[in-house]
Structure 1
Amino acid sequence: MSETRVDGPDARTAHQDLHSEVGALRGEHPGRSRNPVIKVTDLAWLEFEKPDLDRAEVFARDFGFGVAARTERELWLRGTFAGSPCMVIRRGRTSRFIGPAFRAAERADLDRLARATGADVREADVPGGGRAVDLLDPSGFPVRVVHCGERLPALPEQQPLLLNFGTGPRRTNATQRPPREPSRIQRLGHVVLETRVFGRALNWYLDTLGMIVSDFLFLDGQRDRGPTMAFIRCDLGSVPSDHHTLAMHLGPGTGYVHSAYQVTDLDSIAAGGEYLKERGYQRSWGIGRHIQGSQLFDYWRDPDRFMLEHFADGDLFSSDVQPGWAPMSTSGLAQWGPPATRDFLGANPSPQRIRDVIEALRGDNEMDAARLLGLLKATRS
């Protein structure tokens, strides 16, 4: 396969000293749609079901969420930033992830989306009210696109510590004593999903919601078959947006991998992690700094085994930055930090995982033996 790069100055220069050493090859996926239906502006919130809302609220407060609203059947969680809630947990028979809700730029975008998809615009059951269009992505995840009528007000922040660097000290005659308290969540950052129909799902989010790819990952020796993971951001034009609002990767299962929530700084991550550890919660992986997105990270499991991430200092890209391409590997997940754990990688065998593999290899999807072996190799590289 030729290593000739895509023509054009942007494609040649977008990666040099930026986010990836290598850009697309001629004819590879462009990472964006020519004519999307709408362009969403951000994640609004994530939707879950759990049988025990009291237990869910205890963890949420320990992790650093505020409570926006609580009823017998719903728990709405928020960050300190003004805007919509981060998460809703509804009472259900089992613990499960339902799907993401994305924010439309304008109310008229909901009408445009409804006409294009044959869906209806309905009232959104969110504190403060709003309107929503309910869709189903190719993986089977319910996806909501919402326009909220009322924004939650901002709450007090954890203030970043004043740091001394080199010959330019900013703090004198004062000590650093960050309190041992929950990391105060500022906002929802991104969600990561696993899918057996990666290519179809990727194109749906680009064509329908107008999202664009920041980075592609591919399996060693299988680049000619296309990418197997994408870090996808919102297209806000010249306004920089998070390196990824949604990330998806090919896998034998279909489901939630983790979600990430921004906090103030590294001290907030570390002190909040100590607070969680003292209360008996399980750290999945951290603390470290990612490569794709550059975030400082720390991953935890909630009592229902869902993985949540504290992060700070993530990359922001404007729409003119083209996708980077890199091989998929465990060593490529972090610039520094402890080795990625088997728990984080989902490498611990379980009956459900074995069933997922068997069903994927028998089903009509993008998984086959070569892809499966490539994914296994990536977890060990």
Structure 2
Amino acid sequence: MAKPIEIAQVTYAAPDLKLMEKFMTDFGLSCVSNKDNVLYMRGSGEQHHIHVTHYAEKQRFIGASIEVSSQEDLIELAKLEGSSVMQPSRELGGGYEVVMTMPDGFEIKAIWGREKHTKATERSAFEFNNADHKPRLNECIRVKRQPCQAIKLGHFVLHVSNHDASVKWLEERFDLLHSDYFVPPGEDGPIIGTFLRFNHGAEKVDHHAILILQSDWVGVHHCSFEVIDLDAVMTAHDYLVDKGYQLECGVGRHMLGSQIFDYWKDPFGFRVEHYTDGDMLDHHAQPVKFNGTATETTQWGMAPGLEFFQ
């Protein structure tokens, strides 16, 4: 079983790479390369790229890549039924990959050895002066409405035709833990959604790296990028409003995971999220079942409409 380190990237296809580049730049990513019919975008963190778009006449979600801890992990994954051999990566940044396919056809790559960038985050998070603790002294916050830096790809969410089979497929390949569950509103079961986090033992990890949701419709629900703090979320929100992009839901705070969120649609209809202040868990955290309604998934702020979950 491979030890996952980080969600490295999500991969899409779209008919206009320049249009995608413009949106993702306004969303806070930077272009690594846009040639040979492939667009590579990076965040301000170390990953060589975190969002990839291949040119195609019709837009679609292709899959995601997960960085693993060692070349030995790739060798073990390559032995599993349906896996490719371990091979040099076909993408910029080099390294090695094993290509796998989930039951619904999503391409999942395990990667190792890819080049890293030097971190390029422009500022540290602002200290927050709350009623009990006021660490910011003789410093003022002065922010502009502008693109915030997307630091890393935090998670992605998939609608699948068979929840249990998809979760089992992922667990057979990667060392994962369950963080929380969705069950139908007002009921105790069955489980129709599972938040999965990486198992790093006593080390803190994000509440989830992957969310699997049972659905009549198969596809990606959204991908999500972490930003430095609340001011980054809010100033980017206003900037994207001014640019005329399509807001779907935000700003608000999730119930499960606690993230402050802001959801937008890219020019091809794919959801993308900015988030900050999510829960951090270790291996001691135990999952709970959430059986509330769609609006109850938001603690405060703009609640999602019913179509958000369809």
Instruction: Pick the TM interval, shorter chain.
Output: over 0.9
Larger CA Rg, structure 1 vs 2: 1
Aligned counterparts of 1:322 and 1:174: Cα–Cα separation in 2: 40
Shift of 1:117: 2.7
Q: Does 2:123 correspond to 1:180? A: no
Question: Which is further off, 170-179 or 69-78?
Answer: 170-179
CA contact (8 A) 1:45 1:84 kept: no
Pick the structure with more helix per residue.
Answer: 1
Residues 1:244 and 2:189 aligned together: no
TM-score for both structures, normalised by structure 2:
0.94
The amino acid across from 1:329 in the alignment is: T
Tell me if the contact between 2:121 and 2:151 (Cα under 8 Å) persists in the aligned partners. Answer: no
**Structure with more of its chain in strand, by fraction:** 2
Distance 1:328 1:196 in 2: 22
Q: Secondary structure at the match of 2:80?
A: helix
* Selected match of 1:235 from 173, 182, 199: 199
Query: Residue 130 in 1 paired to residue 130 in 2?
Result: no
Aligned length: 309
* C-alpha distance after superposition, 1:242-274 (max 9, x if no partner): 111000111101101001000011110010010
Match of 1:101 in 2: 65
Aligned to 1:81: 45
1:84–1:221 distance in 2 versus 1, CA, 3 Å: same
Q: CA deviation at 1:176?
A: 2.8
CA RMSD for the aligned pairs?
Answer: 1.7
**Contact 2:252/2:303 (<8 A) preserved:** no
Letter in 2 for 1:127: L
Q: Kindly state the Cα deviation for residue 321 of structure 1 after the two structures are TM-superposed.
A: 1.7
Instruction: Tell me if 1:274 matches 2:238.
Output: yes
Partners of 2:307 and 2:248 in 1: CA distance = 6
Determine whether 1:195 maps to 2:160: yes
Q: Give 3-state SS (helix, strand or coil) of 2:4's partner.
A: coil
Who is 1:40 aligned against?
Answer: 4
Structure 1 Cα separation of the partners of residues 146 and 25 of structure 2: 10
Q: What is the alpha-carbon distance in structure 2 between the residues aligned to residue 50 and residue 344 of structure 1?
A: 22
Q: In 2 relative to 1, CA 238–278 (structure 1 residues): closer, same or farther, beyond 3 Å? A: same
2:284 to 296, 316, 320: 320
**Bigger shift: residues 138-147 or 214-223:** 214-223
Percent of aligned pairs with the same amino acid: 29
8 Å contact 1:284–1:343 — kept in the other structure? no
Q: Is the 8 A contact 1:289 1:336 kept in 2?
A: yes
Cα separation, 2, equivalents of 1:234 and 1:167: 33
Structure 2: which 5+ residue stretches go unaligned? none
